[in-house]
């Protein structure tokens, strides 16, 4: 699944970055690398851009960029399960 599949407040982990060229380099430089957890903060009303929290900072991505980032959804334990 890609990053756009998450709803506001959900979390995930990056599996792969399928972007090419300059966009790929920029994403990697900003810490968008395999294995890194992140949270979906919000999506703009029309879905572009999106804002994620990754490595203690907020990052805004265009819809086209987010679609090239493959993720795995992280399920947070319920308070009753702790």
Order of strands, sheet of 50-54, starting from the edge strand that comes earlier in the sequence? 57-61, 50-54, 37-43, 11-17, 69-74
Rounded CA separation 6/54 (Å): 14
**Mind listing the pLDDT tens digit for each residue in 11-62?**
999 999 999 999 999 999 999 999 999 999 999 988 789 999 999 999 999 9
- Give pTM, 2 decimals: 0.83
CATH number, domain with residue 43: 2.30.30.90
Residue 67: domain span: 3-75
Q: Is residue 54 part of a domain?
A: yes
Assigned domain for 80 exists: no
């Amino acid at each position: 699944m890609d990053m756009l599949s998450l709803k506001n407040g959900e979390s995930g982990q990056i599996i792969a970055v399928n972007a090419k060229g300059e966009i790929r380099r920029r994403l990697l430089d900003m810490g968008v690398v395999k294995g890194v957890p992140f949270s979906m903060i919000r999506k703009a009303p029309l879905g572009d851009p999106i804002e994620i929290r990754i490595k203690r900072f907020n990052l805004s991505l265009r819809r086209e960029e987010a679609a090239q980032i493959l993720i795995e959804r992280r399920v947070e334990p319920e308070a009753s399960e702790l």
